[in-house]
Amino acid sequence: MDAALADDLPDGLVVAGPDARVQLVNAGAERMTGCSREELLGRDVREALPLQDTTGRDWWATTDPWSGLAIRTGHRERMLVRPGGRELLVTARYARPGRGAPVSRVVLQLRDTEARRRFENDHAGLISTVAHELRSPLTTVKGFTSTVLKKWDRLSDEQKRYMLSTVEADADRVTRLITELLDISRMDAGRLEVRRQLVDLEALLRLQVERMVAAGEEEGRFLVHVRGPLPEVWADPDRLEQILSNLVGNAVRHGEGAVDLSVRPDPDGDGVVVLVEDEGEGIPEEHLGMVFTKFWRGNRRGGTGLGLYVVRGLVEAHDGRIAVSRSPAGGARFRIALPSGVPDALREG
Ligand SMILES: Nc1ncnc2c1ncn2[C@@H]1O[C@H](COP(=O)(O)OP(=O)(O)OP(=O)(O)O)[C@@H](O)[C@H]1O
Ligand SMILES: [Mg+2]
């Protein structure tokens, strides 16, 4: 590999030849090993880069690619320790010109454990938050169902109805949470599917209003505007619905007054801008930067705090941008910019 290109890699890279001599060291490897290129190049990698496994055994002796089993082709990422104590995650590839042939090249990829640790901490935090979010509705479900079962004859229909509708709402909450978590895991893994087709944004906005009205909101509270002829937008209609229902749901739940939905050509680009505004208290200046983070919620009326995180992920999966600010009426204003035109992938296909 080109040495300059190797230096651009975030990971460390060390390559040794058939004689175990170091042939290439990139900038990442210099940083992680604390040795300069000059110190390493040309030396036997087993001496230049001593590594131990976590039980303190010499790793080169256990794995020796040059005299070990001639069918080994490397190993997966493994935690190894530099004498001196620094931990590295090491992945190795042993290149052989043919099956069973001696190695022609050993490529080591080194990675700092820092990022991994941060990821694991995030992971632990995520699991405990999710467990907590799942437990609270289930506690109500369990409490109310036991009460209804035990005191069936003593409860009035009114009381039973109240308890069962709470149970239903909590079951819906758990289902929604799980759906959101699945979307998030796809999003975080970069595997969220977007099935683009030509969409009618005005119809999508009106559909949201119909849904809200069907759910018991007052029709007069919603305004839909379309300003000017719109360029063609290719997007996934189901995902757009998900985006809009989150934003409109927030405007109704966290905001107040009229909810204004509008779409217009983007003044700064060739796409469109969709605005969802309300007349409530809005989001305090100091919280504007946090609303799109996982599990952040500003008040007790909130749900799980995943809604806007999912919304942002969905917008970005469409190569769009989302921003939040204060509307002139004082409430919250969410602004989504979506690009227009047929995406390259569809044009070719
Ligand atoms: N229109 C709005 N007006 C005022 N505050 C808002 C508005 N929209 C969102 N927020 C604030 O941002 C927080 C995060 O919103 P988000 O949609 O991510 O979570 P949520 O609505 O609390 O829960 P979920 O959407 O997962 O049920 C909310 O808890 C609320 O405090
Ligand atoms: Mg929400």
Torsion of CA 138, 140, 143, 146, to 10 degrees: -70
Answer whether residue 29 shows pLDDT above 50. yes
CA of 161 to the centre of ligand 1 (A): 29
291 lines ligand 1 (CB under 6 A): yes
Q: How many CB atoms lie within 10 A of CB 193?
A: 8
Query: Residue 203's pLDDT is what?
Result: 97
Tell me: the pLDDT tens digits for 255-286? Answer: 999 999 999 999 998 899 999 999 999 998 88
Decide if pLDDT at 349 tops 50.
Answer: no
Query: From the CB of 133, is ligand 1 less than 6 Å away?
Result: no
Domain residue spans of the chain? 3-114, 116-188, 197-348
**For range 246-252, the mean pLDDT:** 95
Tell me how far the alpha carbon of residue 194 lies from the centroid of ligand 1, in angstroms. Answer: 24
Within the chain, strands assigned E span: 12-16, 22-25, 74-81, 87-95, 105-112, 197-198, 222-226, 234-235, 259-265, 272-277, 321-326, 332-338
Domains 3-114 and 116-188 are alike in CATH topology: no
At residue 11, φ and ψ (nearest 5 deg) are: -85, 165
Give me the chain's average pLDDT, please: 88
Find where tokens 């087993």 sit.
46
User: Is the Cβ atom of 303 under 6 angstroms away from ligand 1?
Assistant: yes
pLDDT tens-digit series, residues 148-202: 999 999 999 999 999 999 999 889 889 988 988 999 888 888 888 899 999 999 9
- For residue 222, give Cα distances in angstroms to 53, 194, 260, 304: 64, 28, 6, 25
According to DSSP, residue 58 is labeled: B
Report angle CA 8, 77, 54 to the nearest 5 degrees.
120
| CA 247 – ligand 2 centroid, Å | 7
What pLDDT is stored for residue 344 in this prediction?
A: 62
Domain 197-348, CATH? 3.30.565.10
CA of 226 from ligand 2 middle (Å) equals 24
Q: Residue 332 is which amino acid?
A: A
Report the C-alpha gap between 43 and 20 in whole angstroms: 8
Predicted confidence (pLDDT) per residue in 36-57, tens digit: 999 999 999 999 999 888 777 8
Give Rg (Cα) of the chain.
29
User: How high is the pLDDT of residue 302?
Assistant: 61
Ligand 1 pocket, residue 313 CB under 6 Å: no
CATH fold for the domain made of 3-114: Beta-Lactamase (3.30.450)
Q: Pick the residue whose CA is nearest to atom 1 on ligand 1.
A: 251
Question: Percentage of residues in the chain with pLDDT exceeding 90?
Answer: 53
Reported confidence tier of residue 342, pLDDT bands at 50, 70, 90: confident
User: For residue 24, is pLDDT > 90?
Assistant: yes
255 lines ligand 1 (CB under 6 A): yes
Is residue 242 scored above 50 in pLDDT? yes
* CATH number at 116-188: 1.10.287.130
